[in-house]
């Protein structure tokens, strides 16, 4: 099966409430599952959210929300439950988010390879503006700093949380372009104590691209990384 040129479409949603984006993901997911075998395109939803903390069903995840309801309210941050994997995370303006709604069965990818492809997309996006990034063993996501440094000397720049149902994906990855980093102090990001969260703006200052440039690059790199991962499986 030739997987090298499967159709992808990028949907640019602008700024959208988390609940509305999740509803749209579920619609696109249902269409992809129902259209399996009919050439329905994979989709990458590109979105930015108003300030929101999302909490998964993982045991102990809610304990990683450090702020009480009053502080969240005065900070202008919504608190919502979510059905993705992972733990607690924050989304907000200045954070580029991709929600790939893709058929792993058609792409020939397992969940592990899929997540590695998302990480690769963020690594390539950051590299385009001279920010060296890497993966860390046992900690899904993308980190900057020297790869050989101790864990507390590296900084997280992109977070990943996914769900797979009927071999098709929901949720995805958030890359910190220029969000309000102080909001990450309201939680224990991804349940990882003592780890620093950073952004492209914090790393390179005025050399940081515009939010629109970084978002578009992330969407392009996401499609490219998924196609490359699929093609690699086909060759193996």
Q: In 67-208, where do the E strands start and end?
A: 78-81, 88-91, 95-101, 133-136, 139-144, 155-165, 168-176, 196-197
**Three-class DSSP category at 120:** helix
Sign of CA dihedral 22, 60, 63, 154: negative
Q: Which of 126, 133, 190, 208 is catalytic?
A: 190
Measured CA angle at 204 (ends 202, 209), to 5 deg: 100
Q: Which residues contact residue 112 at a Cβ distance below 8 angstroms, ignoring those fewer than 6 apart? A: none
> Is 190 part of the annotated catalytic residue set?
yes
CA distances from 183 to 91, 114, 155 (A): 9, 29, 16
In the chain, where does DSSP find H-type helix? 18-34, 69-74, 104-107, 111-127, 200-204, 211-235
Catalytic site residues? 190
């Amino acid at each position: 099966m030739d997987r090298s040129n499967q159709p992808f479409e990028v949907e640019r949603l602008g700024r959208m409430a988390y609940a509305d984006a999740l509803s749209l993901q579920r619609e696109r997911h249902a269409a992809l599952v129902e259209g399996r075998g009919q050439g329905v395109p994979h989709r990458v939803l590109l979105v930015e959210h108003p300030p929101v903390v999302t909490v998964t069903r993982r045991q102990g995840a809610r304990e990683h929300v450090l702020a009480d309801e009053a502080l969240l309210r005065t900070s202008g941050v919504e608190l919502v439950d979510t059905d993705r994997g992972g733990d607690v995370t924050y989304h907000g303006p200045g954070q580029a988010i991709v929600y790939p709604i893709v058929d792993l069965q058609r792409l020939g990818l397992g969940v592990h390879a899929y997540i590695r492809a998302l990480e690769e997309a963020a690594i390539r996006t950051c590299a385009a503006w001279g920010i060296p990034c890497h993966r860390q063993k046992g900690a899904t996501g993308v980190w900057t700093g020297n790869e050989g440094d101790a864990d507390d000397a590296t900084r997280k720049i992109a977070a990943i949380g996914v769900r797979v149902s009927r071999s098709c994906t929901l949720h995805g990855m958030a890359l910190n372009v220029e969000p309000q980093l102080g909001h990450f102090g309201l939680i224990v990001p991804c349940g990882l104590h003592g780890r620093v969260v950073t952004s492209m703006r914090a790393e390179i200052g005025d050399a940081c691209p515009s939010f629109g440039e970084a978002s578009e690059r992330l969407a392009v790199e996401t499609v490219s990384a998924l196609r490359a991962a699929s093609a690699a499986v086909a060759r193996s």
